[in-house]
Amino acid sequence: MKRIGVITSGGDAPGMNAALRAVVRSALHRGVEVLGFHHGWRGVISEEVTPLNTKSVGGIINLGGTILRSARCREFREPEGRAQAMEVLRDNRVEGLVVIGGDGSLTGAKVLMEEHDIAVMGVPGSIDNDIAGTDYAIGFDTAVNTARDAIDKVRDTAYSHDRVFVIEVMGRNNGFIAVDVALACGAEGVLIPEFPFSIAEICENLKEQRSKGKSSSIVVVAEGAGKGNEVCDFIVKNTGLEARAVVLGHMQRGGSPSAFDRVLALRLGALATNRLLSGYRGEMAGLVGNRLVTHPLSYVLSQTKTVDAERLLLLGVMAQ
Ligand code: F6P
């Protein structure tokens, strides 16, 4: 290959810039040119393209967001949109494409490869951490730490006022962020979509904890399990305790990536690029059990990754 393309696509995640840096510098190291397409698949379709050199990705390893920008692109979901994207890639003599993004973006890469026979490689980037084939997606660690920092602060005021605080965190249809941050902050309860914990059960637990002397509590709610405000109202009605809700929202997507996310991004970005340049295609780079791996996208996208029940049990024991 003489020239490859790269995009960051879907919801941005801290560490995407570090991954981009790894893709560009790994390719240049092997004498291969890199074109960056802005705004994910949308920028491929509309030919928003810039050549990237080593300087283009200097000074970005510590930056949140993505300098290439990102987007969710409806047009690319249609065959006509993908055909247009492929025409642009051909016109720009792009022989392979590295896609940094979540499951939607990786699905797009797989479909493009199947329809148009272009070599693609995936790098998992999503704060939700719901991508199979890797223990960690780029951005998850930073998002958990951002939520942890916010909840530690809320804990101070919860304690001063003897209140319950319900904290709604992101995660789309899963509870990876919720469970890890609940554990890290010593939360008294967590609601996630994967396990059928009822709010009524949480209310009972909160009352019991109060009877044992606890004066304030944190309940973490994954957005896929319910709205923080509604859970808060339910708790007030059913326990008589004073409660407030905080929705952390998009702050979880921003901020300087943690050292873990930076190193993960560099390793996965470099691996995906080196595999692409060595003739492999249709794979995603991942980290499983602290080892770098690659899996076919067809495998990754057919699996469902779920939260460990062990973590939830631990939370229950710790929250007595
Ligand atoms: O996938 C990342 C994520 O932040 C989810 O946690 C959340 O549900 C969604 O994206 C929000 O998407 P948007 O930024 O398009 O509102």
CA distance 209 to 186: 13
Q: Once rounded to an integer, what is the mean pLDDT over residues 282-305?
A: 98
Please list the residue range(s) of the chain that carry CATH number 3.40.50.460.
141-253
List the Cα angle 15/18/24 in 5-degree steps: 145
- CA distances 293 to 136, 275, 289, 309, Å, are 12, 11, 10, 25
Confidence at residue 243, expressed as pLDDT on a 0 to 100 scale: 98
Ligand 1 atom nearest residue 13's Cα: 2
Contact residues of ligand 1, CB 6 A cut-off: 11, 72, 102, 126-128, 170-172, 223, 253
Triad 71, 24, 280: Cα angle to 5°: 90
Q: Is 164 helix (H, G, I), strand (E, B) or coil?
A: strand
- For the stretch 222-259, pLDDT in tens is 999 999 999 999 999 999 999 999 999 999 999 999 99
Question: Where in the sequence numbering do the catalytic residues fall?
Answer: 128
**pLDDT given for residue 137 in this prediction:** 98
- The CATH number of the structural domain formed by 3-139+257-300 is 3.40.50.450
Q: Whose CA is nearest to atom 15 of ligand 1?
A: 11
Distance (Å) from CA 215 to ligand 1 centroid: 34
Categorize the per-residue pLDDT at 9 as very low, low, confident or very high, splitting at 50, 70 and 90.
very high
Neighbours of 298 (CB within 10 A): 12
Q: Read off the pLDDT band of 196 (50, 70, 90).
A: confident
State the distance from the centre of ligand 1 to the C-alpha of 296, rounded, in angstroms.
Answer: 25
Pocket test residue of 172, 176, 221, 247 for ligand 1, highest count of atoms within 8 A of CB: 172
Domain 141-253, what fold? Answer: Rossmann fold (3.40.50)
Mean pLDDT of the region 18-28: 98
Q: Where in the chain is the domain with CATH 3.40.50.450?
A: 3-139+257-300
pLDDT range class, residue 59, cuts 50, 70, 90: very high
Query: Of 318, 176, 154, 317, nearest to 248 (Cα)?
Result: 154
- Per-residue pLDDT, 277: 98
Mean pLDDT of all residues belonging to the chain? 97
State phi, psi for 4 to the nearest 5 degrees. -125, 165
State pLDDT tens for residues 112-126. Answer: 999 999 999 999 999
Rounded distance, CA 184 to CA 320, Å?
Answer: 15
Percent of all residues in the chain with a pLDDT value above 90, rounded to a whole number: 98
User: Model confidence at 109, in pLDDT bands (50, 70, 90)?
Assistant: very high
How remote is the CA of residue 3 from the centroid of ligand 1, in Å? 32
64-93 pLDDT, tens digit each: 999 999 999 999 999 999 999 999 999 999
- How far is 69 from 38, CA to CA, in rounded Å? 6
Exposed (0-12), middle (13-18) or buried (19+): which is 238, by Cβ within 10 Å?
A: middle
Looking at the predicted structure, is the pLDDT value of residue 197 above 80?
A: no
Counting from 1 in the atom list of ligand 1, the atom nearest the Cα of 252 is 4
